[in-house]
Structure 1
Amino acid sequence: MSKITVNRIKTYLLKNFDGKINLEDVNKKTADDQQRYFYTRALSAYSLTIAAGANLDDAADSITDGFNDNGIDAIYFDRQSKSLWLVQSKFIESGVGAMDNGDIEKFAKGVKKLIDGDFERFNDKIKNKSDDVLEALDDASVKIHIVLAYTGKALSVHNKLSINDLLEDQNDTEEILFFTDFNIDIAYKALETGVGSTPISEDIFISNWGHIEEPFKSYYGLISGTDLGILWEKYGRRLFTENIRSFLGNSNINDGILNVIKEEPDFFIYFNNGITILCNTIKKKPMGGSDKTIGAFTCHGIAVVNGAQTLGSIGSLAASNPEQLSKIKVFVKFISLEESPEGFGQRVTVSTNTQNKVEKKDFVSLDGEQARIKLELKLENIDYHYKRTDEKVSSDVSNFLLEEVGFALASFWPNVDYSTMVKKESGKIWDDVTKPPYTDLFNGNISAQQIIKITRIYRYVSNKMNDMAFKAYSRERSIYRYGNSLVAHIIFQEMSSEIFSDSYQNFEMFFETELPKIAEKYIKKLYLTVERNYSDSMIVYVLRNYTKCRDLKRLLSN
């Protein structure tokens, strides 16, 4: 049976990726060798269409397989879902067995080198994707997914240990590195729903339903969390092919959705905006007649165009916590495109996704302390921008931005966890303007003069380290890119508190003569300390890890 399965997968890969996979670097190989390269590379691309929801062309363009790939056969950065995907693949003709453990160990080392920005050791295919990788690593909300794609049954014990060692080495209390085992069973099962153009058609049960007949047919009502979970398990990200944004995975918004499901399921219908789904056609089935209590509908050409985060969050619980989903109801709106004019579906998609979104940071504008700070800074000829507008403002000597002031104050706070938060999960600073960390940073005890001094020092350190990063490579570059908040924190703690008093007269002299020497000292010390104590850890995670940053503070302060 394995051979039949392999052949069907090969047929699919050939049909969908023939002519899309670049084989120029192996064009001098034999025909048989070129075929092996094609299937291995096509399998990498196929795994991304299923696991990451990439389209065929983007998946094919992600291939990096070749000499000096360090085990990384594909790199795909999905900006919408904030996910960086790294793939190693092996096409096993027999359909049994597993990947060589040596290959997986090579892959693990390659992942570490890549995340440390050590591109000099990689081929041109990977170097050409360095901008994508660095952009992903610079965003603390981006998750990294490592994928083993192979036409074998399962990983060996040694293979699993190698992957677990990599995950445990890099993940703290919050997972940042995720693993996907894309084996032959998963690859074959995915052929059913795949990435082709086959429309999704399902029978949907809606309770307390209503309908609109004119000008275009639409049905609305409640769907159980269980039914949505089943829909997700069956189709996954394919449901979002028409959406401008796919499921974003772990995020503050989705964490909030999950918390309501788990803690207050009865309130979910009130706290959630629901889901909008387009369909090519919708037909009500005879079951139930005109009774609005429950209705069965046959929907052809399903596409979720709004509510991806709601559906994805529900789907993430489908396997692990299905009983929790049975407790929630979700408002859903189905819109039929059957009699609609051309382009109407696209207009619905755009309109339902471009209404002004209120972020937690926007609630800062309701805090009276922000208005006070703005007024006090204005008296110092500084404009403080703490409300979101369409005005484009750059931070400079006469313009301070809420985010940079918040990051500076977080680094100034005595507890190093706040400066780590800046790099790891900065959104938590504004998570709730009525409690810490926000109220620790913004309160009546902080004066405009203090904010000016703290922000200027934070800016100086950040700019200096950014300049150094631009000239550096590999791990050194990463330390300079991600270490600014920690270095600023150490400098703040080492400085005399007298400097921050409003009556202190010699700040400019300190800023011009002393600060450059102190900054140079601790930047150099940070580099040496990290390399001495965390030489086997990826820099981006060392400097976003609360435990490790506490340890670094202790070492740097000695």
Structure 2
Amino acid sequence: MQNLIFLYIILALKNFKTVICKSTKEFIQNNFITPMSKLIVNRIKNYLEKTFKGKIDLSDLPTSTKDEEKQNFFLTRALAAYALTIEAVADIDTATSSITDGFDDNGIDAIYYNRSAKILWLVQSKYIHSGVGGIDNGDVEKFTKGVKRLIDADLKKFNSKVNNKKDEILEALDDSTVKIQIIFAYTGKKLSTHNLDSITELLDEQNETEELLMFTDFNIDKVYKGLETGGGIAPINEDITILNWGHIEQPFKSYYGQIAGTDLGNLWDKYGRRLFTENIRNFLGVSTVNDEIIKTIKTEPDNFIYFNNGITILCESIKKKPLGGADKLVGAFKCNGISVVNGAQTLGSIGSLHTSNPNELSKVKVMVKFISLEDSPEGFGQRITIATNTQNKVEKKDFVSLDTEQARLKIELKLENIEYHYKRTNERIIVDENNYLLEEVGFSLASLFNNVDYSTMVKKESGRLWEDVSKQPYTDLFNQNTSAHKIIKAVRIYRYISKKMDEMASKVEGRERSIYRYGNSFITHIICQKINKGIWADSFPNFEDFFNKDLPNIADDYIIQLKKAIETEYPESMIVYVLRNYGKCRHLKTLMR
């Protein structure tokens, strides 16, 4: 027995020694200056000074600021700009103009809105001369509070640098499809557990049902890697393997074929959004289209190549390598100056899966087309980019035109002197009392339906309303019981509420503005449920009295109720996402009296 106890003690001490050694090594790596970390920090410093000298605004600093302090401000701001050139693929001038660092920045050192990618970038940066450690937890907490203020459009407590970006910030916040990307840029090894907890709490709070806020830890390793790859400046040169390939020699060289999903995933891991510098759109992250791409990969990987449109890539030059010879089954190609100009959502979705679970890509093949711009006329690459992104695309709502109910409603509305436009056209339609669009009619009927999920769907994923014309929710909205008179009444109420709340939003700021900006579908729904159901009958004689006398007072009452309910029930949540959340909207509906 004593020998057994002694053996346990020996084993315990051995394990303890291993843990101590491992922990000590990790502690030293993360918290002590090493010759290598000092060398890396100096290289980063030299790059920032060379690249951003004379481009970083320091005019807000007091004249009494010492040279050493000025240098620290410069490096911290330059690091924020540099992070945007790498992660957001912003050019240097755009990145430097995004700097908001200064007094009353609320911890947000740079703000950049990429309209094409629909991403609002928020950066906190800290230049750490030692190359170890992370950002102070107090600065992180200040930043998280600042983010909450910003997404509630409460800009009164921000400095002039932030308020000078007010229009683009509000534009981003007003678009429910925009994602918010947070970056911590610092020349340290890693964030502390407390810092990660603060960020996780912020993300969990805002990402209750879908990923709306995203976080990137842009530490010294990523900063240095950006120097190695050249950031958004150096061209991307890669060896590419194409399966079952073919080629076009004249008038301009082009190769086409299949590329393995894992190879595309590796390409994404290495370069990320830099691959899309010439595209009209960046990768949009979580979206209905990208969800479908990922669903196909997971459920039907072998069929992905048939269901997907593929990827178009421009290259400055392409050269076939000797490997494989003339065999068309496998070809190796040296591609210089790579830029994906069509298929960003496909590549980005594959990249996101490769990061989380690369095994899911093992059976995936993607059609790809590489076009060489060698000897091509000036502007040819731009013409390809425009052409491949503007081909007429059949959208799901286009299939609405096949539904006989739509043709019937068009005739009925025509008899009421209203033109109903349910087919896409190149005509410019001015929406007024004599012209209705399919989308507006659908949104109005969604608010009329007794399930609040449909009016929530208008704000969250409106395309689902006509995703399948043979199933709900479409058949609940458009059916033989849907009359022209019902549509006219619903549209008039929806338009009245929308206009009224837009006018209210224009007079206030912050969370109150957001409630008015995004609450129109919900308020319309509540009103349509509370009023006398006889109003919807074609024979109802007093709709004009209701519309002119009762509706304004009812609308005022429910708008006030909604504001109070949201601030009581969800005071910390971003308004736009409250009104896109099915569960929260169901709960809010129960509070309306």
- TM bracket, shorter-chain basis: over 0.9
1:525 to 526, 542, 561: 561
- Match status 1:6 vs 2:41: yes
Cα distance in 1 for partners of 2:398, 2:44 equals: 49
Q: Which residue of 2 aligns with 1:175?
A: 211
SS in 1 for 2:239: strand
Q: Which residue of 2 aligns with 1:25?
A: 60
Specify the code of the residue in structure 1 equivalent to 2:39: I
- Match status 1:453 vs 2:489: yes
**C-alpha contact 1:141 1:425 (8 A) present in aligned 2:** no
- Match status 1:479 vs 2:515: yes
Cα distance in 2 for partners of 1:375, 1:12 equals: 67
TM-score, with structure 1 as normaliser:
0.97
CA offset digits 1:513-552 (Å, max 9, x no partner): 1111100111111112222222222222222222211111
Specify the code of the residue in structure 2 equivalent to 1:494: K
CA offset digits 1:357-382 (Å, max 9, x no partner): 32222222222222111111111111
Cα shift at 1:27:
5.8
**C-alpha contact 1:95 1:184 (8 A) present in aligned 2:** yes
- Match status 1:534 vs 2:570: yes
- What's the RMSD between the two structures over aligned residues? 1.4
- Match status 1:396 vs 2:432: yes
Cα distance in 1 for partners of 2:203, 2:526 equals: 29
Q: Any stretches of 5+ residues in structure 1 without a counterpart?
A: none
**C-alpha contact 1:55 1:195 (8 A) present in aligned 2:** no
Q: Which residue of 2 aligns with 1:420?
A: 456
Cα shift at 1:195:
2.5
Runs ≥4 residues deviating over 6 A: none
CA offset digits 1:80-100 (Å, max 9, x no partner): 111111111111111111211
Q: Which has the larger radius of gyration?
A: 2
**C-alpha contact 1:416 1:486 (8 A) present in aligned 2:** yes
**C-alpha contact 1:204 1:297 (8 A) present in aligned 2:** yes
Q: Which residue of 1 aligns with 2:30?
A: none
Alignment of 1:422-437 (within 5 A): 422-437=458-473
Cα distance in 2 for partners of 1:387, 1:229 equals: 39
The answer to which of 43-52 and 485-494 deviates more is 43-52
**C-alpha contact 2:111 2:123 (8 A) present in aligned 1:** yes
Q: Which residue of 2 aligns with 1:218?
A: 254
Cα shift at 1:346:
2.3
Quote the sequence identity (%).
68
1:41 to 77, 87, 99: 77
- Match status 1:91 vs 2:132: no
SS in 2 for 1:222: strand
**C-alpha contact 2:232 2:274 (8 A) present in aligned 1:** no
The answer to which of 32-41 and 533-542 deviates more is 533-542
Cα shift at 1:512:
0.6
Q: Which residue of 2 aligns with 1:439?
A: 475
SS in 1 for 2:529: helix
Cα distance in 2 for partners of 1:279, 1:478 equals: 44
**C-alpha contact 1:77 1:136 (8 A) present in aligned 2:** yes
- Match status 1:264 vs 2:300: yes
SS in 1 for 2:153: coil
Specify the code of the residue in structure 1 equivalent to 2:126: K
Q: Which residue of 2 aligns with 1:554?
A: 590
1:132 to 162, 168, 190: 168
Cα shift at 1:470:
0.8
Specify the code of the residue in structure 1 equivalent to 2:408: R
The answer to which of 256-265 and 22-31 deviates more is 22-31
Cα distance in 2 for partners of 1:237, 1:477 equals: 33
Distance 1:394 1:37, change over 3 A: same
Specify the code of the residue in structure 1 equivalent to 2:176: A
SS in 2 for 1:327: coil
Cα shift at 1:196:
4.7
Q: Which residue of 1 aligns with 2:87?
A: 51
Q: Which residue of 1 aligns with 2:8?
A: none
Cα distance in 2 for partners of 1:369, 1:346 equals: 43
Cα distance in 1 for partners of 2:197, 2:411 equals: 58
Cα distance in 1 for partners of 2:292, 2:311 equals: 16
SS in 2 for 1:318: helix
The answer to which of 247-256 and 56-65 deviates more is 247-256
Q: Any stretches of 5+ residues in structure 2 without a counterpart?
A: 1-35
Cα distance in 1 for partners of 2:405, 2:77 equals: 56
Alignment of 1:151-550 (within 5 A): 151-550=187-586
Specify the code of the residue in structure 1 equivalent to 2:304: F
Cα distance in 2 for partners of 1:196, 1:501 equals: 61
**C-alpha contact 2:176 2:576 (8 A) present in aligned 1:** no
Cα distance in 2 for partners of 1:60, 1:434 equals: 52
Cα distance in 1 for partners of 2:45, 2:478 equals: 60
Count of aligned positions: 557
Q: Which residue of 1 aligns with 2:117?
A: 81
Specify the code of the residue in structure 2 equivalent to 1:39: L
CA offset digits 1:43-72 (Å, max 9, x no partner): 111112222222222111111111111111
Cα distance in 2 for partners of 1:382, 1:214 equals: 53
CA offset digits 1:286-309 (Å, max 9, x no partner): 222211111111112212222212
Cα distance in 2 for partners of 1:248, 1:140 equals: 13
Cα distance in 2 for partners of 1:85, 1:428 equals: 28
2:136 to 75, 100, 107: 100
Cα distance in 1 for partners of 2:543, 2:322 equals: 80
SS in 2 for 1:24: coil
CA offset digits 1:402-430 (Å, max 9, x no partner): 11111111111111111111122222222
Cα distance in 2 for partners of 1:258, 1:163 equals: 27
SS in 2 for 1:396: coil
Cα distance in 2 for partners of 1:322, 1:512 equals: 60
Specify the code of the residue in structure 2 equivalent to 1:66: G
Specify the code of the residue in structure 2 equivalent to 1:246: N
Distance 1:421 1:36, change over 3 A: same
Specify the code of the residue in structure 2 equivalent to 1:131: D
TM-score, with structure 2 as normaliser:
0.91
Cα shift at 1:434:
2.4
CA offset digits 1:327-353 (Å, max 9, x no partner): 111111112222323332222222222
Cα shift at 1:37:
1.0
The answer to which of 533-542 and 146-155 deviates more is 533-542
SS in 2 for 1:23: coil
SS in 1 for 2:259: strand
CA offset digits 1:230-273 (Å, max 9, x no partner): 11111111111222222222222222211111111111111111
Cα shift at 1:503:
1.0
